[in-house]
Structure 1
Amino acid sequence: IPLEEYDKFLDEFNPVKFDADTWVKMAKDAGMKYIVITSKHHDGFGLFDSKTSDFDVMATPFKRDILKELSEACEKEGIKLCFYHSIMDWHHPDYLPRREWEKTRTVDGAEFPRYVDYMKDQLKELITNYGELGVLWFDGEWEDTWTHADGVELYDYVRSLQPNIIINNRVDKGRQGMQGLTKEGDFVGDFGTPEQEIPATGLPGVDWESCMTMNDHWGYNKYDNNWKSSEDLIQKLVDIASKGGNFLLNIGPKADGTFPQESIERLATIGDWMDVYSESIYGTQASPIAEVEWGRITQKKIENGTRIYLHIFDWPEDGKLKLEGLKGRLSGVGMLIKDWERFTVDVDEKNYSYVVNLPDIEPNASDEVIWLDFKD
């Protein structure tokens, strides 16, 4: 879309039903610990009151700083606020290269270093005006005008403003496509960013976060009804946790500032599951053994040992769950639901083989969880 056409949408941006408290409360009730909101996408439009640009939310009929309201709501609810910020900027006159649709906009007078200075000024506003941030989530780094040296400099600059901030690997040039992990080399970035996919296995010593949509679009699209089920999203959360990652689940708000009803329903169902089973997700580590056919495994250090969480997606018809390769002495068993029925485990310590004789219950359809404690 040519700039002169795109700019006309400024007069239409007016999410009158936006309520930061509602957004943050829904995220918290779903079990989320942090929120990543777009401060500026590739189109260059800022959702905040920037003193360095007129192409922002204050130039619209809405005239409210969305990020400021979210920062206040997050502080109230104990949720970490994080910003997605695009390195690419189709609107700024100094950003290069030009788009293929920019038939009349030349590169005459454009200076890319001047754009980088502008971006840094905006980042300084974001880092200093909205409280302590959890993550700066960069994107749009793949064009040739952005270099490894640029990435290192920007990483160091952001860290100089907030030393403890976490910065993703898209600040630099080391990301390996949509699988998102950083290739070997002296690239900066604190975690990998798989997009719309989950790594096949755990990645010891590597921090990563899968970002994923609820349907097929990042932004709201009323024609896209290809929604992932709540069961699928819960199992994706568990799959990611079982491999040592975090789950960044996307929601595309509607033009009026509200969430689609389909997103609201899925968040609520995830929250109901987390109300019971969050212990098996928060603070856990990747599975100590290879993937199992009936579900996934997470683990957590406890006093004098390890607690193994068995996430059962497919409850065995014969009521027997087979496990191989868990080391240590079994010291306790249990479930996360209330009033769970006692069950037994047949143990072959010599061969690290176990058969869990599952209780006769109606398991959670998305993922039922039992735990086994092992002494070191």
Structure 2
Amino acid sequence: MNLEPLDPSTLPAPVDVSDNRPALAMVDAVIDAGPYDATWESLSRYRPPQWYRDAKFGISLHWGAFSVPAFANEWYPRTMYRRGTPAFDHHLATYGPQDRFGYKDFLPHFRMEHYDPQEWVALFKRAGAQFVVPVAEHHDGYAMYDTARSRWKVTQVGPQRDVMGDLLSAVDQAWLIPGASTHRAEHWFFMNGGAEFDSDVRDPAYADLYGPALRKEMNPTERFLEDWLLRTVEIIDSYRPQILSFDTGIEEPSFEPYIRRLAAYYYNRAAEWGRDVVINYKWESFAPGSAMLDIERGTMGGIRPDGWRNGTSVSRTSWGWVEDHDYKSPSELIQELVDVVSKNGNLLLNVGPRPDGTIPESEVVLLEAVGDWLSVHGEAIYGSSPWVVFGEGPTAPAAGSFTDEAAPVYTPEDLRFTRMTEVGHDYVYAIGMVRPEDGRMRIRSFGSGSRFLDRPIVDVRVLGSREQPEWTRTGEHLEVVLPAFETSGDGGAVVRIELAPETAETRIDFFHGLNL
């Protein structure tokens, strides 16, 4: 591929961020003035907002200059400098030596010339998303927003516009919830392969892009940690995201005091705004109760009472745009959503735009398929809460992170449950993971012999149909005859079971029967 390298004469001068003392004093002033201080004891008083628990489904975006080479995955900025990797060899063969054409030279070719944020948001709404969380900065150090702390940003190199700001403005105008994700925490070592041979990572002229490029055996420096904190504070103050997400880099022990300062600052700023916000984190970087856990590309083994999130992607190959994606099917995505929600979680589904600012057609199709299913069955998803058990059936996806390499092979016996309580009504939704070929959904947990039922069934409906379905109940199961339109297509059918109103006596008898 014949790409012109970056012209250094087009770059502004580096930004001087050597003295962080005034900015850090401002951070501490906000912390001192607010309801939260920078201790885990104080931060553990936090409670996730109800709007986030109700929203259930959102969209994230991995976008950036790594989509220009579009090779392997979004870690190309690292692997292109690591000798012996396919990306290193591909780069040499395609673009030449890394001292002549480095990662910086891809940035001007990330132009986003066909970017239409209103069109994107219209797609996200058709998909049924309630919140949007773009990556503000990935590990590569290229800011997708208008930062005052770097010249390596979309407003000066590449699109020449604040692409994240434009997107979040469109999100807000569409009454969706804006968020932001920052992955900068891994940047301190991310380009270190280029420090081991003659590459542009060694060029002092580009040190402000490539960062410290320290060996992984070391720790990030205080200056880097301060810069991480202040860049994140800048995102908070400039864009007011109501969702703030972090990748795994903050697991490094050196980040711990900075994480506490950042969380206290964010929660106190939100109190000033009069907004409820949420932080999503991975692994154990936050103390229990101080934020909401995110399980990357995975699921829980059961119901987590205090809520959680699965951050996953439409593709198994890469989070960013590449040419040869291994896409999931629409049914797989719907199954992931249903499984997560039944276990008291939210699903954040990622897409990866092309460098010209368009969302690939295959990804548009996938999002619209999820939206089509939700338009009929969303009553069982949005605003729901877990039932007594999350589901039934022989198939259980592996619990934990990075378990989506292969899709579980669900059967018609695999169901998930959610619950919705309205004034005078108590509904439980049985959501099929696969549509039964014989057109009959059999729900063991609602048989007359089930230990999970504390009250009589007063009504049974199939979502999407106005007709009263035929249903029978035996000791083994509740059997519901599905309408014809619910026997094929993406995703499963949903049966709504209305239970008689709960009384104090039925509740006591129920929990006694469960021997809890």
Normalising by structure 1, we get a TM-score of: 0.85
Task: Work out whether 1:197 is the aligned partner of 2:298.
Answer: yes
How far does residue 189 in structure 1 lie from its aligned partner after superposition?
Answer: 4.3
After superposition, residues 302-341 of structure 1 pair within 5 angstroms as 302-312=422-432, 313-315=434-436, 317=438, 319=440, 321-324=442-445, 325-341=452-468
Distance in 1 between residues matched to 2:438 and 2:385, nearest whole Å: 29
The runs of at least 4 consecutive aligned structure 1 residues that moved more than 4 Å come to: 1-4, 104-107
How far does residue 30 in structure 1 lie from its aligned partner after superposition?
Answer: 0.6
Residues 148 and 187, structure 1, Cα contact 8 Å, conserved in 2: no
Residues 155 and 188, structure 1, Cα contact 8 Å, conserved in 2: no
2:495 match: 370
1:158 match: 266
Task: Work out whether 1:136 is the aligned partner of 2:238.
Answer: no
Q: Secondary structure at the match of 1:162?
A: helix
Distance in 1 between residues matched to 2:136 and 2:390, nearest whole Å: 39
How far does residue 162 in structure 1 lie from its aligned partner after superposition?
Answer: 2.2
Residues 152 and 187, structure 1, Cα contact 8 Å, conserved in 2: no
With over 3 angstroms needed to count, the CA separation of the structure-2 counterparts of 1:322 and 1:277, relative to structure 1, is closer
CA deviations 1:330-371 (Å, max 9, x no partner) are 2222122133343234266xxxx6423424534243211110
Task: Work out whether 1:85 is the aligned partner of 2:85.
Answer: no
How far does residue 69 in structure 1 lie from its aligned partner after superposition?
Answer: 0.7
With over 3 angstroms needed to count, the CA separation of the structure-2 counterparts of 1:266 and 1:359, relative to structure 1, is closer
CA deviations 1:238-295 (Å, max 9, x no partner) are 1111111111111011111111111001111111111111111001112322532222
Residues 169 and 188, structure 1, Cα contact 8 Å, conserved in 2: no
With over 3 angstroms needed to count, the CA separation of the structure-2 counterparts of 1:234 and 1:187, relative to structure 1, is closer
Normalising by structure 2, we get a TM-score of: 0.63
CA RMSD of the aligned region, Å? 2.7
How far does residue 111 in structure 1 lie from its aligned partner after superposition?
Answer: 7.7
Q: Which moved more, 1:213-222 or 1:318-327?
A: 318-327
1:228 match: 328
Residue type of the alignment partner of 1:190: A
Task: Work out whether 1:274 is the aligned partner of 2:370.
Answer: no
Distance in 2 between residues matched to 1:373 and 1:188, nearest whole Å: 33
Structure with the greater relative contact order (CA < 8 A, sep ≥ 6): 1 or 2? 2
1:16 match: 113
Distance in 2 between residues matched to 1:10 and 1:319, nearest whole Å: 55
Q: Higher Cα Rg: structure 1 or 2?
A: 2
1:179 match: none
More helix by share: 2
Residue type of the alignment partner of 1:169: Y
User: Aligned pairs, how many?
Assistant: 353
Distance in 2 between residues matched to 1:306 and 1:371, nearest whole Å: 10
CA deviations 1:11-58 (Å, max 9, x no partner) are 212010111101111111110000110101111110011111111112
Among 109, 121, 129, which residue is 2:230 paired with?
121
Among 355, 359, 363, which residue is 1:259 paired with?
359
Residue type of the alignment partner of 1:321: R
1:301 match: 421
How far does residue 318 in structure 1 lie from its aligned partner after superposition?
Answer: 7.7
With over 3 angstroms needed to count, the CA separation of the structure-2 counterparts of 1:97 and 1:371, relative to structure 1, is closer
Identity %: 22
List alignment gaps of at least 5 residues for structure 1: 176-181
How far does residue 61 in structure 1 lie from its aligned partner after superposition?
Answer: 3.6
2:196 match: 103
Distance in 2 between residues matched to 1:152 and 1:86, nearest whole Å: 17
List alignment gaps of at least 5 residues for structure 2: 1-79, 82-97, 203-211, 394-412, 446-451, 503-516
1:69 match: 166
How far does residue 143 in structure 1 lie from its aligned partner after superposition?
Answer: 6.0
Distance in 2 between residues matched to 1:125 and 1:54, nearest whole Å: 15
With over 3 angstroms needed to count, the CA separation of the structure-2 counterparts of 1:119 and 1:346, relative to structure 1, is same
Residues 38 and 85, structure 1, Cα contact 8 Å, conserved in 2: yes
